[in-house]
């Protein structure tokens, strides 16, 4: 997410320099948006906001997010690491798997949810496999 970027940038300025990490998150976002492209043609509106960061292998991140019953949502995750295997899954406020469909491909992962209730949901992103120590990822979403 763009509001998340300043923290990453600040951390990076303290260590290695700002350019590369932001660039890889942006690259990961390009893949997430590429995954979204066919769904835009199906009438999904892709939000400009997104989340992003980097993860080690088998590491997960939880993102808390508001969803509205009546809409259908797709979450598209991207990474610039071609051989990495990434995943995104959606859980409701009680921790039950809520997605109706999910897929994984090189560079991409995605999940669709049709919320049964309006309220809080948890998006769990994971790098399942990667040749790199840290793998950049980005998550975009759309609704219809």
Partner 1 sequence: MKKVILLALAALSPPVFAEPAAHIDVSNLPSQSKMIDAVVVPVPSEIFAVLDKLGPRPNWSAVQHKMTSVAQPIGEQPQIALMLGTVIAEGFIAVEAEDANEVKQIGKSVLNLAKALGVEKKAQVRAKAITDAADAKDWTAVRKQLDKALEDVREAMVELNSEALSQLVSLGGWLRGTEALTAVVEKHYTKESAELLHQPILLDYFEKRLANMKPKLKLNPVVIKVQKGVLEIRPLMGLPDSGDISEKSVKEINDVTSDLIKAINAKAQH
Q: At what angle do helices 19-40 and 5-14 cross, to 10 degrees?
A: 160
Q: What is the DSSP letter of 46?
A: E
Burial 37-64 (b: 16+ CB within 10 A, else e): eebeeeebebeeebbbbbbebeeebebe
**Window 45-84: contact mask with partner 1 (x via CB under 8 A):** x-xxxxx-x-----xxxxxxxx-xxxx-------------
Q: Exposed, middle or buried by CB within 10 Å (0-12, 13-18, 19+), for 96?
A: exposed
Contact status, residue 89 vs residue 60, Cβ threshold 8 Å: no
To the nearest whole angstrom, how small is the minimum distance from the Cβ of residue 85 to partner 1?
A: 7
Cβ proximity to partner 1, 31 vs 50, nearer residue? 50
Q: Does residue number 4 form part of the binding site for partner 1 (CB under 8 A)?
A: yes
Task: Answer positive or negative: Cα dihedral of 106, 34, 98, 126.
Answer: positive
Q: Does residue number 87 form part of the binding site for partner 1 (CB under 8 A)?
A: yes
Q: What is the DSSP letter of 68?
A: -
**Window 10-49: contact mask with partner 1 (x via CB under 8 A):** -----------------------------------x-xxx
Cβ proximity to partner 1, 80 vs 88, nearer residue? 88
To the nearest whole angstrom, how small is the minimum distance from the Cβ of residue 46 to partner 1?
A: 8
Which residues are near partner 1 by CB under 8 A? Answer: 1-6, 45, 47-51, 53, 59-66, 68-71, 85, 87, 89, 91, 93-97, 99, 102, 104, 117-120, 122, 124, 128, 141, 143-144
């Amino acid at each position: 997410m763009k509001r998340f970027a300043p923290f990453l940038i600040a951390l990076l300025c303290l260590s290695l320099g700002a350019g590369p990490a932001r660039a890889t998150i942006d690259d990961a976002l390009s893949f997430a948006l590429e995954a979204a492209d066919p769904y835009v043609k199906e009438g999904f509106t892709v939000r400009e906001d997104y989340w992003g960061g980097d993860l080690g292998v088998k590491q997960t991140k939880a993102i808390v997010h508001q969803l509205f019953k009546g809409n259908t949502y797709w979450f598209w995750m991207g990474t610039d690491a071609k051989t990495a295997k990434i995943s995104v899954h959606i859980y409701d406020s009680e921790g039950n798997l809520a997605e109706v469909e999910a897929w994984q491909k090189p560079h991409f992962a995605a999940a669709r949810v049709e919320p049964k209730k309006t309220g809080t949901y948890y998006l769990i992103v994971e790098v399942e496999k990667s040749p790199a120590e840290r793998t950049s990822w980005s998550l975009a979403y759309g609704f219809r």
